[in-house]
Structure 1
Amino acid sequence: MNTQVYDLFISNENPKFVAKLLAQYRIIQFLGQGAFSSVFKVFHDGEFYAIKIVEKMKGNTEKLQQEALILNQLKHPNIVRYHKTFESKRRLYFILSFIDGKTLQQYIDDGNIRFYEKECIAIIRQLVDVLSYLHSNRIIHRDIKPDNMIVDKNLNLTLIDFGLSYMTTQQITTHQNCGTLIYMAPEVLMKKEYFKSVDIWSCGIIQYQLLKNCHPFWTNQKKEKYIKQMSVPQKVDFSGMSKYNFKFERAAISFFEKTAAFEPEARITAEQALLHPWITCQSSETYIMTSKEIFQAYKGIAIFTKFQKLIVFLQFVKQNSEKAIRAIVLPSTQRFFSKQKSPKKPKILKIPTRSCLNSSHSSRDSSEKQKIKLPPIINSKKSPKGEGSPNHFLSNNKIINPMQTAIEFKKSHFRLK
């Protein structure tokens, strides 16, 4: 074991704790160092492991515990496997599975290595699959970059670092500025609220780097200038994006535009990215709508529906305007439509008497109406003896009440015209 590696492993640490840890895990190799962590290759029980050592600082204890919690819950073939954690007063030691390979950044920096487009598709497909798994479990990685991915000789990708990952609970957005500058989405650079679409942005940037071996926006300028530059949408050079036919190049450009879109709502989700023609290598074009396009389409349909309703309403008003004005302005006795006739009064049927029946048809059809007088009702109790109507009227008619004439009229065969 290298002395420098050993010194780096035990620096600023309790000797008793280090001795206990080294009794189980033998240091083999120093793998790399980040801003707040160091990674070593160790040997334990016939297998190789990686120990990630993270320094405790003010305010990061909860983050480190959250990282351990997230790693313990994740089970995916393209995510590094977590085993256990050792904790001392100054550090946390994450025991992870060892992945034999190089980081994706090492492949990009190596000028002698250039991936074919099919190999780029295989790598991005695995990355998108990991993001789909994380996002479905409400986890935002927030630090997707080539340094945090290991690719073996069979082009199997493994995501290894979850130090800045964030698990959403009831909150759907966050505003903490974190990650690597050139892979940060514009909303993160502007310190605005963001969600899982920031990981999709990083995926689009990595796709461009693999295909063209350069960053689409970064040109080694200063940090302040780059942030100011990314506050507005930028033009991208797509020349030589694909070495295949025109349709394949158009699919590659479409994937970048839908993942590295300036507006978060204009980016596709990880699930949609798995169905993109560039990922599936399908010849048939499959159009995938982003949230912005869906909203615009729905908004257009809503506006068209409102316009249709307005036309129908105007037609109704045009057809019924005169009637509506009369109903509002004129009194109730005059609220009839101009072309509508006033209602006719119902005809009252007058019941004729016997004298009317004995009259001729000409008298019935004449314009002059004959006045029919019914004889008085005879009351034998109240009328004096010998008084009343003539005997021949009583013997022939015998009227008890006025309705008797109607009864006799119904029995007759006379028909009114």
Structure 2
Amino acid sequence: MSDQLNKDYDVGALIGRGRFGAVFRCVSRISGELFALKSIDKALLTDPLDYDLSSREAKLHRLAAAGNPLAVQIHADYEDDESIHLVLDFCPGPDLFDRIAEKGAPISEPEAAMLMEDLMEAIAACHRRGVVHRDVKPENVVFDSEGRIRIVDFGSAGWIGDGGGMRELVGTPYYVAPEVVRGDEYGEKVDVWSAGVVLYTMLGGVPPFYGETAAEIFEAVRWGSLRFPSRVFRGVSSGAKDLLRRMICKEVSRRFSAEQVLRHPWIKSRGGTSSPED
């Protein structure tokens, strides 16, 4: 590891692994504060796109997290011949995926609405700074020591602050938007689609689009036919379904923005009974 990194931080136990590296506990040698260290192994960045994304992750992460308390903050970054290292807030977890699995049943509408409000506040703050996360999923939504959500992992983030769009195929199959799969130019509303899939999964316990392979999932997403099977959505309110239709909307021009999601009656009433009827 970087000599300067080792001077500044005491790197401890491994706490997780990802596609391109690992996450460790680390402690500031000056303050004694606990952080998480994300180390990206350059040898695993064999695709030019992956290398480009990883090399600019720190810059986009800092931009997205500035003044955004619902994003994990980046405190320092280092680079050596083998790795890129990011020092981040330590969040003990669990992540939202674990929370959904732990419940063993769909999450209640009031809890889902509260979580979605925080998630969309985090996403809206990113969008205001021209940053698109591009990999919104339950595994990238963690809980801090106070139990509030924090959005993490800007390794796939893109920049639209110059008014341009993006075309790279990035993201996770279950959550990626159809315009990404089609290879169209796209913008920040891909995050709204992904967040809608997260909400659908919280309320229904299953994703809206699935398949046995990534190719089959992508094909289901491409068609984007949103359904609410009665066996899992029988008890879900019309207001929640209305919001889902506006977030998981194949027509980008009709899909809600993050700010519009935050103004929806179901969110404003915290999953209450004041939601619109079908």
Q: Confirm or deny a common fold (TM above 0.5).
A: yes
Q: In the alignment, what sits opposite 1:237? A: 228
Instruction: Identify if the C-alpha distance between structure 1 residues 124 and 228 changes in structure 2 by more than 3 Å, giving closer, same or farther.
Output: same
Instruction: Identify if the C-alpha distance between structure 1 residues 153 and 212 changes in structure 2 by more than 3 Å, giving closer, same or farther.
Output: farther
The 3-state SS of whatever aligns with 2:245 is: helix
Q: Deviations over 1:210-230 (max 9, x none)?
A: 111111121x42222333333
The 3-state SS of whatever aligns with 1:42 is: strand
Q: 1:71 aligns with which of 61, 78, 85?
A: 61
Q: 1:52 aligns with which of 38, 42, 60?
A: 38
Q: In the alignment, what sits opposite 2:93? A: 101
The 3-state SS of whatever aligns with 1:180 is: coil
C-alpha separation in 2, matches of 1:269 and 1:43: 39
Quick check: which has more Rg, 1 or 2?
Answer: 1
Alpha-carbon distance, 1:119 to partner: 1.2
Alignment of 1:294-373 (within 5 A): none
The 3-state SS of whatever aligns with 1:29 is: strand
The 3-state SS of whatever aligns with 1:262 is: coil
Alpha-carbon distance, 1:62 to partner: 4.0
Instruction: Compare relative contact order (CA 8 Å, sep 6+) and give the higher one, 1 or 2.
Output: 2
Alpha-carbon distance, 1:71 to partner: 2.2
Q: Is the 8 A contact 2:176 2:221 kept in 1?
A: no
Greater share of residues in strand: 2
Q: In the alignment, what sits opposite 2:199? A: 207
C-alpha separation in 1, matches of 2:120 and 2:267: 9
Q: In the alignment, what sits opposite 2:244? A: 256
Q: Is the 8 A contact 1:107 1:113 kept in 2?
A: no
The 3-state SS of whatever aligns with 1:274 is: helix
Alpha-carbon distance, 1:174 to partner: 1.2
Q: Is the 8 A contact 1:27 1:42 kept in 2?
A: yes
Equivalent position amino acid for 2:206 in 1: C
Q: Is the 8 A contact 1:242 1:252 kept in 2?
A: no
Q: In the alignment, what sits opposite 1:382? A: none
Q: In the alignment, what sits opposite 1:118? A: 110
Q: In the alignment, what sits opposite 1:167? A: 159
Q: 1:149 aligns with which of 141, 152, 163?
A: 141
Unaligned runs of 5+ in 1: 1-12, 288-417
CA RMSD in angstroms, aligned pairs only: 2.3
Q: Is the 8 A contact 1:101 1:150 kept in 2?
A: yes
Correspondence 1:190 to 2:182:
yes
Correspondence 1:32 to 2:16:
yes
Q: Deviations over 1:289-333 (max 9, x none)?
A: xxxxxxxxxxxxxxxxxxxxxxxxxxxxxxxxxxxxxxxxxxxxx
Instruction: Identify if the C-alpha distance between structure 1 residues 230 and 70 changes in structure 2 by more than 3 Å, giving closer, same or farther.
Output: closer
Count, aligned residues: 266
| TM-score normalized by the length of structure 1 | 0.59
Q: Is the 8 A contact 2:246 2:256 kept in 1?
A: yes
The 3-state SS of whatever aligns with 2:57 is: helix
Q: In the alignment, what sits opposite 1:88? A: 80
Q: 2:261 aligns with which of 248, 269, 273?
A: 273
Instruction: Identify if the C-alpha distance between structure 1 residues 146 and 232 changes in structure 2 by more than 3 Å, giving closer, same or farther.
Output: same
Q: In the alignment, what sits opposite 1:296? A: none
Instruction: Identify if the C-alpha distance between structure 1 residues 109 and 223 changes in structure 2 by more than 3 Å, giving closer, same or farther.
Output: same
